[in-house]
Every structure is written in structure tokens, then in C-alpha cells.
Amino acid sequence: MTTSTETARTGASSCCAMISGGSLAADDAVALASKFKAMGDPTRLRLLSMIAAQERGESCVCDLNEPLNLSQATVSHHLKVLLDAGFLTRTKRGTWSFYALVPEALEALSEALTAPATH
């Protein structure tokens, strides 16, 4: 029987295999964490879902206040966080802002967690 002292000394372990592939580089992990942080708010997740569900593929900020029961300033703040994280695009029409989902941004998050590491 191998003792923990012998395992530490030889660097061998009978129960654990070496982990290979699938790990993120530190810089990539920091970038991904900031994107997940932007999505880590229930209101922001609801906003993404609401915008994605629109037939025209976009939503005016004025249409999002009432369903969320939040002020326009609060909704605008959450939309800006999602915009800055790259999940939404914004088009200005007069005084109104229309937001659309960036599907590639969500796909990139999924791929980053499932693709083998290239580093």
C-alpha cells in the first residue's frame, strides 16, 4: 500500500489521472468571467430572453420597462452592461434605442467551455 508520504515523494497517485486539454488560459478565463458576470443577474437574463423572443429581432427600451416593472433608468443600466459585454447591439432612432441580440456572443461562451484548449 502506498502512503501519502510516498505519493508526495514520487509524484504518483493511483487514484487520479492527469488532466489534459479543455483548460482555459488565465487571460481567457478573466474575459469569460466578465461576460458571465454580466449575465449573472436575473434581470439581465430576462432582458436577453425578452429581446431574443421578439419577432423583429429587436426591442425598444421603452417596451422593456413595463414587463420588468422597472424604471427606464434601471432597464437602461442593465442593457448597457449587456451591450458592453457584447451580448447586444444598439441602434438609435430619434430619441429611442433599439437593442438586438448578438447570437454569436452566446455561441462563443458555449464554445469556450466545451472546446479543447489550443494553448
Q: What are the structural domains, with CATH classification, of the chain?
A: 24-114 (1.10.10.10)
Residue 24 has pLDDT above 60, yes or no: yes
- The fraction of the chain above a pLDDT of 70, given in percent, is 78
pTM, full prediction: 0.73
Mean pLDDT of 58-62: 91
For the chain, the three-class secondary structure string (H helix, E strand, C coil) is CCCHHHHHHHCCCCCCCCCCCCCCCHHHHHHHHHHHHHHCCHHHHHHHHHHHCCCCCEEEHHHCHHHHCCCHHHHHHHHHHHHHCCCEEEEEECCEEEEEECHHHHHHHHHHHHCCCCC
